[in-house]
Protein backbone atom coordinates (compact mmCIF):
# COMPACT_ATOMS: atom_id res chain seq x y z
CA UNK A 1 0.00 0.00 0.00
CA UNK A 2 1.36 3.39 -0.95
CA UNK A 3 1.17 6.00 1.79
CA UNK A 4 0.65 9.70 1.15
CA UNK A 5 2.42 12.45 3.06
CA UNK A 6 1.84 16.18 3.40
CA UNK A 7 5.23 17.82 3.93
CA UNK A 8 6.03 21.30 5.24
CA UNK A 9 9.26 23.29 5.57
CA UNK A 10 8.67 26.40 7.66
CA UNK A 11 11.14 29.14 8.62
CA UNK A 12 10.22 30.27 12.14
CA UNK A 13 11.78 33.09 14.13
CA UNK A 14 13.50 31.56 17.14
CA UNK A 15 11.61 33.93 19.44
CA UNK A 16 8.31 32.57 18.03
CA UNK A 17 9.11 28.89 18.51
CA UNK A 18 7.02 28.55 21.71
CA UNK A 19 4.00 30.11 19.94
CA UNK A 20 4.56 27.79 16.98
CA UNK A 21 4.68 24.77 19.29
CA UNK A 22 1.38 25.81 20.87
CA UNK A 23 -0.22 26.05 17.42
CA UNK A 24 1.34 22.73 16.36
CA UNK A 25 -0.19 20.95 19.37
CA UNK A 26 -3.63 21.98 18.12
CA UNK A 27 -2.75 20.74 14.63
CA UNK A 28 -1.58 17.43 16.03
CA UNK A 29 -4.84 16.87 17.92
CA UNK A 30 -7.01 17.83 14.95
CA UNK A 31 -5.16 15.76 12.32
CA UNK A 32 -4.96 12.67 14.51
CA UNK A 33 -8.62 12.90 15.60
CA UNK A 34 -9.64 13.06 11.94
CA UNK A 35 -7.70 9.94 11.02
CA UNK A 36 -4.10 10.80 10.10
CA UNK A 37 -1.79 7.83 10.69
CA UNK A 38 1.08 9.91 12.05
CA UNK A 39 2.01 13.54 12.61
CA UNK A 40 5.47 15.08 13.09
CA UNK A 41 6.70 18.58 13.90
CA UNK A 42 10.52 18.67 13.94
CA UNK A 43 12.75 21.66 14.67
CA UNK A 44 16.22 22.09 13.18
CA UNK A 45 19.00 20.65 15.32
CA UNK A 46 21.94 20.63 12.86
CA UNK A 47 21.11 22.44 9.64
CA UNK A 48 24.65 23.00 8.34
CA UNK A 49 25.81 19.50 7.49
CA UNK A 50 28.39 20.52 4.85
CA UNK A 51 27.12 18.73 1.76
CA UNK A 52 24.49 19.46 -0.84
CA UNK A 53 22.25 22.49 -0.59
CA UNK A 54 21.48 22.99 3.07
CA UNK A 55 17.99 23.82 4.24
CA UNK A 56 19.18 27.28 5.41
CA UNK A 57 20.44 28.01 1.88
CA UNK A 58 17.34 26.60 0.26
CA UNK A 59 14.99 28.62 2.47
CA UNK A 60 17.17 31.74 2.69
CA UNK A 61 17.07 31.29 6.45
CA UNK A 62 17.87 34.41 8.47
CA UNK A 63 20.17 34.36 11.52
CA UNK A 64 17.23 34.83 13.91
CA UNK A 65 15.29 31.89 12.42
CA UNK A 66 15.25 28.12 12.62
CA UNK A 67 13.43 25.59 10.45
CA UNK A 68 10.49 23.37 11.23
CA UNK A 69 10.16 20.25 9.10
CA UNK A 70 6.67 18.82 9.53
CA UNK A 71 4.77 16.00 7.92
CA UNK A 72 1.48 14.16 8.20
CA UNK A 73 1.06 10.55 7.04
CA UNK A 74 -2.06 9.04 5.42
CA UNK A 75 -3.04 5.55 4.19
CA UNK A 76 -3.66 6.64 0.59
CA UNK A 77 -4.52 9.56 -1.64
CA UNK A 78 -8.25 9.16 -0.96
CA UNK A 79 -7.65 8.84 2.79
CA UNK A 80 -5.59 12.05 2.66
CA UNK A 81 -8.41 13.86 0.86
CA UNK A 82 -10.97 12.74 3.44
CA UNK A 83 -8.80 13.69 6.43
CA UNK A 84 -7.80 17.09 5.02
CA UNK A 85 -11.44 17.91 4.24
CA UNK A 86 -12.37 17.24 7.88
CA UNK A 87 -9.36 19.19 9.17
CA UNK A 88 -10.25 22.24 7.08
CA UNK A 89 -13.83 22.12 8.37
CA UNK A 90 -12.80 21.75 12.01
CA UNK A 91 -13.53 24.96 13.97
CA UNK A 92 -10.25 24.59 15.88
CA UNK A 93 -8.43 25.30 12.62
CA UNK A 94 -10.36 28.49 11.74
CA UNK A 95 -8.22 31.51 10.84
CA UNK A 96 -9.57 33.50 13.78
CA UNK A 97 -8.07 30.89 16.15
CA UNK A 98 -4.60 31.95 14.97
CA UNK A 99 -4.80 35.75 14.55
CA UNK A 100 -1.01 36.08 14.75
CA UNK A 101 0.80 33.38 12.84
CA UNK A 102 4.20 32.63 14.41
CA UNK A 103 5.78 32.43 10.93
CA UNK A 104 5.55 34.13 7.54
CA UNK A 105 2.97 32.21 5.46
CA UNK A 106 4.63 33.46 2.25
CA UNK A 107 7.77 31.50 3.13
CA UNK A 108 5.99 28.25 4.04
CA UNK A 109 6.85 25.45 1.58
CA UNK A 110 4.46 22.54 1.17
CA UNK A 111 4.01 19.48 -0.96
CA UNK A 112 2.02 16.27 -1.20
CA UNK A 113 4.14 13.16 -1.60
CA UNK A 114 3.45 9.55 -2.54
CA UNK A 115 5.81 7.19 -0.73
CA UNK A 116 8.42 5.47 -2.84
CA UNK A 117 9.76 3.17 -0.12
CA UNK A 118 8.29 2.47 3.32
CA UNK A 119 9.93 0.44 6.08
CA UNK A 120 6.85 -1.42 7.30
pLDDT digits (tens, 9 = 90+) for 13-41: 999 999 999 999 999 999 999 999 999 99
Q: Taking the CB of residue 113, how many other CB atoms lie within 10 A of it?
A: 12
pLDDT digits (tens, 9 = 90+) for 81-95: 999 999 999 999 988
> 105 and 13 in contact (C-beta within 8 Å)?
no
Report field, pTM of the whole predicted structure over 0.95: no
pLDDT at residue 96 above 80? yes
**Section 64-92 average pLDDT:** 97
Q: What is the pLDDT of residue 1?
A: 66
What Cα–Cα distance (Å) separates residue 78 from each residue in 25, 61, 74?
A: 25, 34, 9
pLDDT range class, residue 3, cuts 50, 70, 90: very high
Fold adopted by 4-46+56-100: Alpha-Beta Plaits (3.30.70)
| Domain boundaries of the chain, sorted by first residue | 4-46+56-100
Amino acid sequence: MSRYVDGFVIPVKKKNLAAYKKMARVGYKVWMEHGALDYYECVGADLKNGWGTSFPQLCKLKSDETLVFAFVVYKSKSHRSAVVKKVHADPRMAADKFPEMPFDMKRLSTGIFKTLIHSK
